[in-house]
Chains A and B, each alone.
Chain A
Amino acid sequence: MVPVPCRVMRTYQETGDTFTLELESLSQDGFSFRPGQFNMLYIHGVGEVPISISGDPHKPESVVHTVRVVGIVTWGIKKLRRRDFLGIRGPFGTPWPVDLAEGNDVVIVAGGIGLAPLRPAIYDILARREKFGKFVLLYGTRGPSDILYFRQLEDWRARFDFDLHVTVDRAFGPWKGNVGVVTTLIPKAHFDPVNTVALICGPEVMMRFTILELLKKGIPEDKIFISMERNMKCGIGLCGHCQFGPHIVCRDGPVFPYSAVRHLLGIREI
């Protein structure tokens, strides 16, 4: 339950309210984690928040988090500069089933900041790209200025082994890309539904509608995975805050197969 002090190596602004934090790895052997897991970040005297890990699992020398400023702790994290310290506990939670997806097509659907916890899975797949079939990323944000990892998306889009589409909910001015919610991208993607694993992360309502569309396409229920968000205080399944029906999200999740949460999604205030 005690955070380990950790030094900031660099920070960079991603969008108006979102920034990425690179921390020095905790031990000699580096920081090892699996895509989809999260850390608890502690700001001295202010508090602690769960933040998913957004870095490359094959680069253990640093710990990378992409953070949106939404409250006093994330505001405290934003104020950190190179060589400042924060406390860190983790990694916690269940990972994306990247290994299970080997031999299948992979469709990743991300909404807004939901791209951050999926990025380690993207790194992981690209690192052994030959082991997977078609690889699709569908990403939707509010507006053009909210697009996360802009340069990186451009680089990825230049690859011939990566089918990547971006859309925005609303657009003004010079935007010439797609406009519409992320589900409108699904018809653009080509994959073999029966042999596809889908990884989804974003607001709950976005995940619900995405699942409906993917099911319509024919992806089996047990091959759809989502990452849930709840109030996580302890990260180790002891404080009770993050319950979602029978699930303790910090321990049993955040990544769940759709089949495990199907009956709970859509029930109000559960």
Chain B
Amino acid sequence: MTYRLEANALDRLFKALGTKGYVIFGPTVRDSAVVYDRIESPNDLPAGWADQQTNGSYRLVKTDSPAYFDFTAPPQSWKRLLFPPSLHLFRSHRRNGTLEILEEEHETEPMAFLGVRPCDLRALAILDSVYLNGGASDSTYRQRREKTLIIAVNCTRAGGTCFCASMGTGPEAGAGFDLCLTELVSEHDHYFLVESGSAKGESCVSPLQAREATPQEQTSGREAIRTAAAAMGRSLQTQGLPELLAANLSHPRWDQIARRCLACANCTMVCPTCFCSTVEDSTDLSGAIASRTRLWDSCFTAEFSYIHGGSLRPTIKSRYRQWMTHKLSSWVAQFGSFGCVGCGRCITWCPVGIDLTEEARILRGQAAEHV
């Protein structure tokens, strides 16, 4: 069933989540950007803020709208809350010639993610397929993920670098949410449509005291989402793309991209599905206690592919190729889906404005010419 919750009653959702013991994470404005952080009430939400995004550019602008969720994909995704950029793994104690190695324990509190965009919702499902896949799984990720309540918010506005419609991941939330909101704003009306996607989500609905939404209201919601779908800033033709990229590993275009790419790793840091990590070992001053820390890593560093004797990917060309072919080709073989959800962050946050949808288009066009 779909409910209608008045925008000025949104604090009921915060209260309901608080009563259930959730720490609420959601969008808020900080340092001229929308970030996902702890929030306490609707006052913390970025009401009246929208973003303008294009290649290498992100600007927040104040609007006249009272909408809480007018922004599109912000710089950081939810990944950092489930897969922290830095995490202690274990401590090794050396005493009298023996070694004792103890795993670090990490406390996990129940988290509610409020405002998960459909692209980011799909990204969480992709991270699940990486970290919770079969035999080997990441225990910290699992613990956090199991205690997380997901409140998705459908997109009624598309960003300048968005292409979720091409990737089939948005602008309407697919599976995986506990609750899903659609925010509707008109001249004299401001409300949310609320749907639940799980028993956990359903139990949060009754405290909202929301009434059932009328068919007209539900139609308005669908139309708003359709408007966003039609306004995508970017598009990507995905049909046959994995095979196309796999067949063009020696394409001259990689050289041209390499002339622009700085190998700064921004695209991998903002990507909601990039999952690579490295470890760092350190000791105390005496050398008796050593600890190991896991850190986010990027395939754009020369060190990433280092084996004895040197880096296997010394050129930027091969590192960009590794990243793009992983996202749009080999990911499919590894995890059964694309590693890209069309959020457009890598386009917005590339300091030289490289656009992977444009690169894919060029590879497709030139490859076709070569055939």
What residues of chain A have their CB less than 8 Å away from a CB belonging to chain B?
1-5, 42, 44-48, 68, 70-71, 74, 83-87, 229-231, 233-234, 236-241, 243, 245-246, 248, 251, 263, 267-270
Q: Are B94 and A231 in contact, CB atoms less than 8 angstroms apart?
A: no
Q: Are B99 and A240 in contact, CB atoms less than 8 angstroms apart?
A: no
Q: Which one, B94, B138, B315, B317, contacts A44 given CB within 8 A?
A: B94
- Decide yes or no whether B371 CB sits under 8 A from chain A: no
Q: Are B278 and A269 in contact, CB atoms less than 8 angstroms apart?
A: no
- In the complex, per-residue mask of B225-267: 1 if CB is within 8 Å of any chain A CB, else 0: 0000000000000000000001001100000000000000000
Task: Report the nearest B residue to A85, measured CB to CB.
Answer: B99
Given known contacts A2-B90, A71-B308, is B287 in contact with A45 (CB within 8 Å)? yes
Q: Are A3 and B305 in contact, CB atoms less than 8 angstroms apart?
A: no
Q: Which one, A3, A74, A269, contacts B318 given CB within 8 A?
A: A269
Complex Cα distance, B207 from A105, in Å, reads 73
By a CB distance below 8 angstroms, the chain A residues around B309 are 70
Task: Report the nearest B residue to A235, measured CB to CB.
Answer: B136
- Decide yes or no whether B341 CB sits under 8 A from chain A: no
Interface centre among B90, B101, B103 (most CB of A within 10 A): B101
Q: Are A231 and B98 in contact, CB atoms less than 8 angstroms apart?
A: no
Q: Which one, B94, B97, B133, B318, contacts A83 given CB within 8 A?
A: B97
What residues of chain B have their CB less than 8 Å away from a CB belonging to chain A?
89-90, 92, 94, 97-103, 130-131, 133, 135-136, 138, 246, 249-250, 275-279, 281-283, 287, 290, 297, 299, 304-309, 312-315, 317-318, 322, 325-326, 329-330, 333-334
List 3 A-B pairs, minimum CB-CB distance, nearest first.
Answer: A45-B290, A240-B276, A269-B318
Q: Which one, B99, B297, B304, B305, contacts A87 given CB within 8 A?
A: B99
Q: Which one, B97, B279, B306, B325, contacts A85 given CB within 8 A?
A: B97
By a CB distance below 8 angstroms, the chain B residues around A5 are 98-101
By a CB distance below 8 angstroms, the chain B residues around A233 are 277-279
Could you name 5 residue pairs across A and B whose Cβ atoms are closer than 8 Å?
A48-B279, A85-B94, A230-B312, A238-B136, A246-B333
By a CB distance below 8 angstroms, the chain A residues around B136 are 236-238, 251
Q: Are A238 and B97 in contact, CB atoms less than 8 angstroms apart?
A: no
Complex Cα distance, B312 from A268, in Å, reads 9
Complex Cα distance, B321 from A268, in Å, reads 11
Q: Are B318 and A268 in contact, CB atoms less than 8 angstroms apart?
A: yes
By a CB distance below 8 angstroms, the chain A residues around B277 are 233-234, 238-240
Q: Are B249 and A44 in contact, CB atoms less than 8 angstroms apart?
A: no
Nearest CB of chain A from residue B13's CB, rounded to whole Å: 35
Q: Are A46 and B97 in contact, CB atoms less than 8 angstroms apart?
A: no
Q: Are B90 and A241 in contact, CB atoms less than 8 angstroms apart?
A: no
Q: Are A238 and B101 in contact, CB atoms less than 8 angstroms apart?
A: no
Q: Are B281 and A46 in contact, CB atoms less than 8 angstroms apart?
A: yes
Interface centre among B94, B97, B308, B317 (most CB of A within 10 A): B308
Given known contacts A231-B306, A231-B307, A239-B297, is B278 in contact with A45 (CB within 8 Å)? no
Q: Are A243 and B330 in contact, CB atoms less than 8 angstroms apart?
A: yes
Complex Cα distance, B133 from A251, in Å, reads 12
Complex Cα distance, B97 from A5, in Å, reads 11
Given known contacts A45-B92, A243-B326, A267-B249, is B275 in contact with A231 (CB within 8 Å)? no
Complex Cα distance, B249 from A242, in Å, reads 18
By a CB distance below 8 angstroms, the chain A residues around B133 are 237
Q: Are B334 and A1 in contact, CB atoms less than 8 angstroms apart?
A: no
Complex Cα distance, B131 from A234, in Å, reads 12
Task: Report the nearest B residue to A113, measured CB to CB.
Answer: B308
Given known contacts A1-B90, A233-B279, A241-B305, is B313 in contact with A269 (CB within 8 Å)? yes
Nearest CB of chain A from residue B143's CB, rounded to whole Å: 14
Nearest CB of chain B from residue A140's CB, rounded to whole Å: 18
By a CB distance below 8 angstroms, the chain B residues around A246 are 246, 329-330, 333-334
Q: Are A241 and B276 in contact, CB atoms less than 8 angstroms apart?
A: yes
Q: Are B308 and A70 in contact, CB atoms less than 8 angstroms apart?
A: yes
By a CB distance below 8 angstroms, the chain B residues around A1 are 89-90, 103
Nearest CB of chain A from residue B84's CB, rounded to whole Å: 14
